[in-house]
Chains A and B, each alone.
Chain A
């Protein structure tokens, strides 16, 4: 694993998502997109122009959107059901449970503009509960990619996977992580930086922040391991076992830690490898503020992660 250094520029992962879906669709006629009047917010305008008959727009009706997705899968299609993750997951939860997961339908659910991307629009539009909700649903793979490369790789892995998948796609600008671009696999995470004093387990938009925190900690003589846990369900427990050997784990995610990645890691560690932990995430309904302000305000920044790591290790601020 190469030490990860952010490349220049910041990217909206939706662009990587639509490029991947278009690429898949060009090669496989079974690929269709299903949207809830979200062609624009899902950036699927070009897909619609290229494959007009394969863009199924159900209008503003999320329960029907997910049910129709399951029906399309029954009809031999590979549907990418895309909508703002706050509505896709909460409004259509029973359809995700019964029609997709329990029925084991080959539906790919794409939660767009996840986390707190909608910032000032408030808690109705934040999607910070989605991971806690979906992680409870059996047979549903839950993936949170961290950058454009991983988003595209996750979409391709989802298409190749037999069964329902949720991919959480961010619109918050993130750098392309410099890393060994080997392969992405559902159920596998990756160690982006080695370190034996403490492990930071993050995913999505928190991965580049975790790497920056590890860089700051290294300057103070603290060797922090950074684990990108893009696959929450199934969880990569082998990687967790390695991380737990450091004796201290900080988790960081753009969502509720309660029930989210933090919850998943804590559950496994409590039973198999008890370690000191700090779970970084949002506490609940959030005050008005931009996405960037909310991330900083609730400690989901490189500084916030480094501070939590120091506290966990009983160190003073460097």
Chain B
């Protein structure tokens, strides 16, 4: 992984606390970076970005077996961002992981930028499929896992879905088929922040009992604190253990995590902090890193 860390440090084999500390530092950097992108662009999805940041940081800065020098390597792990609107988090992770220069993050949403409001694989290396309309990433991830199953390949497929996204029928078509095929090479992470664009998921079209739903479709289900880097590392490490069913990790998360006034506020699904709010957010994140 080229993530800007000391290349002499083999993070994957470092003690657990060193791994978690590294991911924590990168997640904090991602939060600061994506907020600046949103402020500069004058638009974005900060709530969902911050909800998914720790999950993406854990994957891109530790777990995924990917090499930005060979983004099309057939045996690479795949990460599919089914909640494609959270590009602040995705692009900061991809840049931090070395898929494109960090300075390019300054072009976010600008005319002709490769950093579109939703990820495009024909623009950017490291993007597996174009998402944005909800309900698309999981079927594609299932197809990737089926291809690997046919070939007996041992790379792993991870997909991150929003929780509101699980109201799309195509997600359950894919979930049913993944269970039927026994796709043990597939791990889905549900970013369970309990808020969708307009309101709570349970007040809109209730998802609970969510774990039971996945189990009924033939999945193994586990819960994880989606902001605890050590817990995420342990869950993703365990996800690679050979198994004969797909795995759903329901990550307990908070929209706007890391910024006090955004946390758990549906209003920050979209939204741009003003100068004062931005300064406060950065101050809070710097303080968090100092702790």
Chain A residues with CB under 8 Å of chain B are 32, 53-54, 56, 58-59, 61, 63-64, 66-77, 79, 94-95, 98-99, 102-105
Contacts and interface: CB of A to CB of B under 8 A. Distances in A.
20 contacts: A32-B147, A58-B177, A59-B176, A59-B177, A61-B173, A61-B177, A63-B135, A68-B139, A68-B177, A70-B139, A71-B139, A71-B145, A72-B147, A75-B143, A75-B146, A77-B147, A99-B129, A99-B130, A103-B122, A103-B129
Contacts of A95: 136, 139, 170
Contacts of A68: 139-140, 142-143, 146, 174, 177
B121 A71 contact: no
B101 interface: no
Nearest to B169: A63
B128 interface: yes
Interface in B43-91: 74, 78
A75 to B, nearest CB: 2
Contacts of A104: 121-122
B187 interface: no
A95 B120 CA distance: 15
Contacts of A98: 130-133, 136
Contacts of A69: 143
* Chain A, interface SS category: helix
B131 A63 contact: no
A67 B129 CA distance: 10
Given A54-B150, A71-B129, A103-B121, A76 B143 contact: no
A199 B180 CA distance: 53
Interface in B94-151: 120-122, 128-133, 135-136, 138-148, 150-151
B22 to A, nearest CB: 29
Contacts of A70: 129, 139-140, 143
A71 B143 contact: yes
B239 to A, nearest CB: 18
B173 A63 contact: yes
A45 B130 CA distance: 33
Given A76-B74, A77-B150, 15 more contacts: A58-B173, A63-B170, A64-B174, A70-B140, A71-B143, A73-B143, A74-B78, A74-B147, A75-B143, A75-B146, A75-B148, A98-B131, A102-B120, A103-B121, A103-B130
